[in-house]
Chains A and B, each alone.
Chain A
Amino acid sequence: GAVVSQHPSRVICKSGTSVKIECRSLDFQATTMFWYRQFPKQSLMLMATSNEGSKATYEQGVEKDKFLINHASLTLSTLTVTSAHPEDSSFYICSAGGDQDRNQPQHFGDGTRLSIL
Chain B
Amino acid sequence: GQQVMQIPQYQHVQEGEDFTTYCNSSTTLSNIQWYKQRPGGHPVFLIQLVKSGEVKKQKRLTFQFGEAKKNSSLHITATQTTDVGTYFCAGRRGGSEKLVFGKGTKLTVNP
The answer to whether A and B interact is: no
**Which residues of A pack against B, CB within 8 Å?**
none
